[in-house]
Structure 1
Amino acid sequence: MKLAATEHKGTGQDFLLLHGLGGDRSNWDALAPELNGRAVAVDLRGHGESPDGDWDWEAVLDDLDETVVHFGLDKPVVVGHSLGGVIAGLWALRHPSCPAAVSLDGHRSATTHPENYPGLSTEDVTRSLAELNALFDAQLETITRPSRRILDVLRTSPELLDALPVFAKVTAPFLLVFAARNLPVPPELLPLSEAHRAGVRRDVPANVEVHEIDATHGLIAEQPQAVAAIVNQFVSKRFKA
């Protein structure tokens, strides 16, 4: 599948930028110019101006392979936000020679397995997850891209429910930029959000470098310059003589 893409000119390292669920390549407009190199931002299949298609992780990676070839990217650093961060990990698994991969707060779904919420009783987790899923269901009714078929696949995908086992297999340098603040949620769901964050901190694999940032999950819109600086510093360490 040929993806819609935007090239942000620059010299130095090549970057491939992957947006989150329901986003598109314009999400990178403020951040991409701050990167030390040339960056290509894509619309993933079913998003933005890219064609529709069934969601299959290998097919999604095939789309990106074709994009890399089309733009002549030389072993790009793959940077993804949310869903894109999960894909960055899968990309690094497919391409062991990947110089570095970065996930921007893409790690584990907010509605994941009950054991991923330490400190809360099973009863509290079950009740709170039912409330959170009801909120998500209402939000999904307002989304036209991607399709409901893709959304339904992703909501039950093991990789999206918990990408940390994927990250544990990555041999390339891998950075997780972790949002330290909650998105706005009803007060009764704050304990679930805090427990979710505690579970991620507990379970991040040893091979993953973590940088926490004082931002919410919308970090690339809230602090594009700060996030770009973190990415640039991580990448520059990989290429020091």
Structure 2
Amino acid sequence: MSHDLTITDHEIPLAVRDSGGDGAPVLLLHGLGGTLEAWDPLDLDDRRTVAVDLRGHGHSGDGPWEWASILNDIEAVVKHLGLDEPVVAGHSLGGMIAVLWALRHPACPGIVDLDGLRSAESDPGNYPGMDPAARDRELAKLKAAFDAQAAAMGQPLPAELRTMFPARALTKRDGETYARPDVKLLEEIRYTPEFRDTIPLLRQVACPTLVVIPTQDPPGMSGGELMEAFRRGVRRDLAELPPNIRVEELEAGHDMLTAQPQAVAALITAFLGRRTG
């Protein structure tokens, strides 16, 4: 039976959901704007799963987004719960953190990266096979859309929009309801090299690694030539990886945890059985 707790012996409070049990532990890290509840649909059999609200998300505390500090947050969870050397699985932003974790812990028993490879708003060279002028126009549109989303996160949420966010992602300030993370944290993350492109770091990972990439467009971005080119770039750059890194494609979009939880669980379970015993 899972239970929620807050770790307070750290520089910021960290909220976690621990399934308990004696199985080998798997630490679960959600994506940007998500919460630990993103992992609720996932069933990893008898594994002990520990899902974390990242800093600035869910019920965890606030703090500047520095990648070393995020890894220190994860270290605090591992130490507090006595997880020793867990497998670390992450979706999107969480997958990027899993890659950085593996670089800090080369003896890690394994990591899973669910489409946490690069931002859709990336270097123009990451969209091969697309007319440069059309590519630049589409990237400008994408930037404008992300700018608008970030600005909206800095405003109080009207009642009709609150249902679009999980309750865990909402917070009250001065009598108004806001979504987490706030606009400051979004901007801190958005332009870091690690967020824009994690694949160069992935190539340095030494531990067993499962990477899952989607074959479909992200929700709300369907039918675009830019996303087709984006996937071509990802496949191109994953073509020559060391043998410890396994890449699987899934018939889903970026929201694979929500859309295909059983398929994701099957891939992770097979990886855990192969790689970690």
Fold shared per TM-score above 0.5: yes
Once residues 114 and 249 of structure 2 are traced to their aligned partners in structure 1, the CA distance between those partners, rounded to angstroms, is 10
CA contact (8 A) 2:219 2:254 kept: no
Aligned to 1:225: 262
Letter in 2 for 1:29: D
Out of 176, 181, 198, the position equivalent to 2:232 is: 198
Deviation at 1:11, TM superposition (A): 3.5
> Shift in Å at residue 9 of structure 1?
2.7
Q: Aligned equivalents of 2:232 and 2:102: distance in 1?
A: 26
TM-score by structure 2 length? 0.82
Higher relative contact order (CA 8 A, sep 6+): 1
- Asked if 1:214 is matched to 2:247, the reply is no
Q: Quick one: which amino acid aligns to residue 197 of structure 2?
A: D
Tell me if the contact between 2:23 and 2:48 (Cα under 8 Å) persists in the aligned partners: yes
For 1:5 and 1:35, how far apart are their aligned partners in 2?
19
Match of 1:75 in 2: 85
Post-superposition CA distance 1:31-57 (Å, at most 9, x none): 1x3344001000001111101100000
Whole-Å Cα distance in 1 between the matches of residues 29 and 65 of structure 2?
A: 15
- Other-structure match for 1:182: 217
**Structure 2: how far apart are the matches of 1:36 and 1:209?**
23
C-alpha distance in 1 between matches for 2:27 and 2:37: 13
Gaps of 5+ in 1: none
Partner of 2:196: 161
d(CA) in 1 for partners of 2:192 and 2:254?
A: 20
> Contact 1:2/1:66 (CA < 8 Å) preserved in 2?
no
Q: Which residue of 2 aligns with 1:9?
A: 20
Q: Which has the higher helix share?
A: 1
Q: Give % identity.
A: 47
Q: Larger deviation: 204-213 or 67-76?
A: 204-213
Cα distance, 1:74 vs structure 2: 2.8
Secondary structure at 1:46 match in 2: coil
Partner of 1:54: 64
CA distance in 2, matches of 1:202, 1:8: 38
Greater displacement, 136-145 / 10-19: 136-145
Q: Deviations over 1:134-191 (max 9, x none)?
A: 122222233331121111111111001000011011100111111111124466x711
For the 8 Å contact 1:34–1:225, the answer to whether it is kept is no
Aligned mate of 2:185, from 144, 150, 156: 150
Alignment partners' CA distance in 2, 1:112 and 1:36:
38
- Show the counterpart of 1:236: 273
Partner of residue 106 from structure 1, selected from 92, 116, 133: 116
Does 2:153 match 1:116? no
Retained in 2: the 8 A contact 1:35–1:228? no
Flag structure 2 segments of 5+ consecutive residues without an equivalent: 1-11, 154-178
The aligned amino acid for 1:92 is A
- Give the alignment's Cα RMSD to 1 decimal: 1.4
Contact 1:35 1:229 in 2 (8 A): no
Instruction: Tell me how many residue pairs correspond in the alignment.
Output: 238
Give 1:24's match in structure 2, choosing from 9, 17, 35: 35
TM-score (norm 1): 0.94
The one-letter code sitting in structure 2 at the alignment partner of 1:21 is L
